[in-house]
Structure 1
Amino acid sequence: MTALTFGQRFTPATGPDARAGDAFSDRAAPTAGALTLQNLLTAIGSGYLETICAPCGLEPMVCGVLIWDVAGPVSIDPGDLVLAVGVAATSSAFPELVDLAGRAGAAAVAVKGPLNDAWISSLAQGAGITVFAVPRELAWDQVHAVVRRAIATASATAEDSDAAPSRDLFALAAAAAADLGGPVQIHDAGMHLLAASPGDEFGDPWRTSEVAGHPPSELLGWLRRTGLLERVRGASRPIRVGPPGSPSRLVTAVRAGTEVLGFVSVSEGAVPLGLEHEATLLEIARMATTSVIRLRVAEDAERRLRSDLLRSVIDGTGSAFVLASRLGVHADEEFRLIGFQPHGGVCGQPIEQIQVHGLVELGMEGAAHGGLVATSGSRTYALLPSAQQAVHEVKELAGEILGQATHQLGVAMVAAIGTASSGLARLPTARAEVDRVLQLLSAGNGPPLATFDELRSRAVLAELRELAAERPHLLHGHIAMLREIDRTQNTQYISTLRAYFDSACDPVEASKRLYVHRNTLRYRLRRMKERCGLDLLDPNERLIAELQLRLTVET
């Protein structure tokens, strides 16, 4: 590995003899292969750079990587990723470096900890430049090498950018439509539109809904209910489908081996679709495979980056602004968080967690408005735009995923649906709500799926129970005294009081619950007051007594 030299800058060499990884050079003009910060993070993967603050988003171009020399004059050029080698984030030199890099138009500054995120964010905002954190255990030469390689690779492959797989698919759809005599659409495995032939019929509900960028929920539901979607996935030949309100069409799967990558369909036009059209459609599906795979690889890299961003935000370490920028939404976007975990709270093997993540991700792809998935520990979270789907639809979706986990993976799971929240900055709070419900569901024998609103009272009690464990004096008083009397004298004051509270303080109903005469119940209540001073006619004492009772009895 090349040793670091302060003040050294790498920019991709240019010209007909240039090769990826050529030597360091003076700054040239930004190359065609320059990366955005977003693309750089995708290319190098997680574990190298963590976004602390990105006031201008992650769209700035990275043209080179510069090793900062705090001891001597070093020029910073536009597009540089400045590695703050030897500069502590807490030193007076760091604000000067951030300010200098911002004024020079650098892409970003990378620094090692210990970090004060709030302070660094204020510096980044003031200078208008992105700041990355580098793990303290990572060597600077590793970071330098991986960034250098990403920039060089981007430069070397820039000439291939015109052969974008999406353009290939649109060209294929256009040619197929001319050959088949009807509109052609190509979808991914989640039925999101990848390409369509020109002049496609926008009056078709199938097509019109997809123009908005998401699958048509009504038609997806129809395909699932009728079993046609599974038939298409499993069939070796095209299947004819006739969705309500849409023309009849032939649909076949795009495959790589046994894996379904997507679908190709042709709508019936003036000429009825026959056997010759089926053979042509199969050939088109075969031709689409390579482009769909290339598109999927690019999307997988993007999905991984988004997933890493979501995980960092729900963990409380990432930037909600950067996540919003990456998703193309406002930071105050309304959302709903769903959480999944195995019943009991722990996955058996690491591979099991990977399978669960993939299953949830696949389920979100099939959702009407998509979703973003991230795994943290043994829990998998899905972020959904709450304004787009009703709670019952979200519950239905989560229930389907739980069923698939049981039948396909043999894993019993629970799922929690959080409340609708505004602002991605509230994701850590939403995660805490979801975690609380997952904890309650996993510990009990009730249904495996619930919303936070459905378990709100139990969630509040669970949080108060944790608070009481930290401050035991909150549980001192009448209930503790009655519990001790029950233990030493074989009385039944606690069970009597529990039945009384469960019956809304109705003596008649409480006596029925206890299978005793109501006079017996009244006698016990009177004796409680005599022995420990509990006055159930005092509303404050009654409230505290019931709360202490539930905090120490309920599980």
Structure 2
Amino acid sequence: MLQELQDVINDISAEVGVPTSLTDTRLNSIVFGPHEDTGIDSVRRQALLLRSTPEWVREWFGRYGIDKAVGPVRIPADPERGLASRVVVPARYASTTCGYICLLDVHHELDETRLSTVVDAAQELGRVLYLDQQARYSDADLLADLVRGSAAVRGKAAARLSEQGRFPVGWPITVLFLRPLGGATSGMDALEHWLWRDHGALPRGALRCLDPEGAVILAPVPPTAVPAHAQRIVDHLLAGNHDLPELIVGIGDAQSDLHDAHLSYEHAHLAARAAMVWPETGPVCSWDRLGALRVLIGTPGHVLRYLMDPRVALLIEGQPSHAGLIDTLETYLDSGCDNQATAARLHVHRGTVYYRLEKAAALCGMDLSDGLDRLALHLGIKLLRLLESKAD
């Protein structure tokens, strides 16, 4: 699909003789025509590098009604912000605007005759974009049904995907859950734009959809794949994508049957949640490596507050007047009770660590040389982080 779009844009660039690009409806770049570097403005240069468009550009273009336009729209320059004048031609199909052809018109040379070629091409581009969007929506709906639907809905989605031959017979599947750190709206917008690109790193047949908190990718796993196969997919996906928001990624357990994809989704979602609560498990967190934390992250919220050892609660009560005790304890336990490593991670002297540990032990009445006491402390602090995250 991209090559087809690229060919049309290349032809337009050659015909009208100005830098030309195709964007989606949010003005984020899809393909660019050839151009001389000296002939473009800073906005296009940024689009080339990041493939995204600043919000102020969308607002500027919106002032001139491109969202409702059915023909070419002239956009005046904004020299103070490095924006040259442009002509924007909507790429429409079935009464739907699917994208825009953006032509730099620095010297105001694009008259009606020269633009007629662009208008004709816009119809073909609109058709290609529209059909691609419909295919995406269909795939996204199938995946959403497969991982979030009722048992009956999941069964129908699995049967349809099997009929389509989307996945090699006998191959397991796994789910990746990508969540913008902090969950900001701007982060979700960038993630949505990125999600629907053609990703060479995704295995053939992979499905994608948006989730209220992020993005879901379902990918087939070769039966002979190494255990780190899903991690490698994530590494390839994120490599060089500087326009993406900061992400955490949850990886679900591979499932041998497509009907069980919802289990991998649930685990991936929980793993991503764990990486938000306990940063030391992320930014890429695999469900099969969470260990004992799986018990905590999977426990219903109304049960959590009853699980904490009451002695840990004494530490919480003393926190205002004993700053750093809980952080020091957590780092110490995370470091395998290695005092030197704890001091290095906290950037304090080892004597400070000893003092804080002794103070914490006296405050809560626990013996740090006792394995069960250390376990109660470690799980209690992890539980505290989880409760704090739910309160935010």
TM-score normalised by L of structure 1: 0.38
Report what 1:189 is aligned to: 2
Alpha-carbon distance in 2 for matches of 1:484, 1:447: 27
1:434-513 to 2 correspondences below 5 Å: 434-439=268-273, 450-452=284-286, 456=290, 460=294, 463=297, 467=300, 470-485=303-318, 494=326, 497-498=329-330, 500-506=332-338
1:70-149 to 2 correspondences below 5 Å: none
Kept in 2: contact 1:486–1:493 (CA 8 A): yes
Report what 1:372 is aligned to: 207
Report what 1:345 is aligned to: 183
Kept in 2: contact 1:437–1:451 (CA 8 A): yes
Report what 2:161 is aligned to: 324
Alpha-carbon distance in 1 for matches of 2:242, 2:133: 25
Alpha-carbon distance in 2 for matches of 1:516, 1:366: 45
Report what 2:146 is aligned to: 313
Report what 2:374 is aligned to: 542
SS in 2 for 1:359: helix
Kept in 1: contact 2:178–2:248 (CA 8 A): yes
Q: Deviations over 1:153-193 (max 9, x none)?
A: xxxxxxxxxxxxxxxxxxxxxxxxxxxxxxxxxxx3269xx
Kept in 2: contact 1:347–1:378 (CA 8 A): no
SS in 2 for 1:304: helix
Kept in 1: contact 2:173–2:255 (CA 8 A): yes
Query: Residues 517 and 395 of structure 1: is their aligned pair in 2 closer, same or farther, counting only changes over 3 Å?
Result: closer
Q: Deviations over 1:307-362 (max 9, x none)?
A: 2121112113322432433432478642232333444214259xx74x75453222
1:524 aligns with 2:361: no
CA RMSD of aligned residues (A): 5.1
Report what 1:17 is aligned to: none
SS in 2 for 1:403: coil
Q: Deviations over 1:171-225 (max 9, x none)?
A: xxxxxxxxxxxxxxxxx3269xxxxxxxxxxxxxxxxxxxxxxxxxxxxxxxxxx
Q: Deviations over 1:349-385 (max 9, x none)?
A: 9xx74x7545322234774524222223242222222
Alpha-carbon distance in 2 for matches of 1:323, 1:492: 55
Greater radius of gyration (CA): 1
Kept in 1: contact 2:178–2:272 (CA 8 A): yes
Kept in 2: contact 1:310–1:323 (CA 8 A): no
Alpha-carbon distance in 1 for matches of 2:357, 2:195: 57
Alpha-carbon distance in 2 for matches of 1:537, 1:444: 25
Q: Deviations over 1:219-263 (max 9, x none)?
A: xxxxxxxxxxx9x96349xxxxxxxxxxxxxxxxxxxx898xxxx
- Aligned-partner residue type, residue 375 of structure 1: L
Q: Deviations over 1:398-439 (max 9, x none)?
A: 21584354xxxxxx2525252433222232222223323444
Alpha-carbon distance in 1 for matches of 2:146, 2:205: 19
SS in 2 for 1:504: coil
Kept in 1: contact 2:268–2:287 (CA 8 A): no
1:244-393 to 2 correspondences below 5 Å: 300-317=133-150, 318-320=153-155, 321-328=158-165, 329=167, 333-348=171-186, 353=189, 356-357=191-192, 359-364=194-199, 367=202, 369-387=204-222, 390-391=229-230, 393=232
Aligned length, in residue pairs? 270
Alpha-carbon distance in 1 for matches of 2:353, 2:185: 53
SS in 2 for 1:534: coil
Alpha-carbon distance in 1 for matches of 2:285, 2:90: 37
Query: Residues 384 and 189 of structure 1: is their aligned pair in 2 closer, same or farther, counting only changes over 3 Å?
Result: same
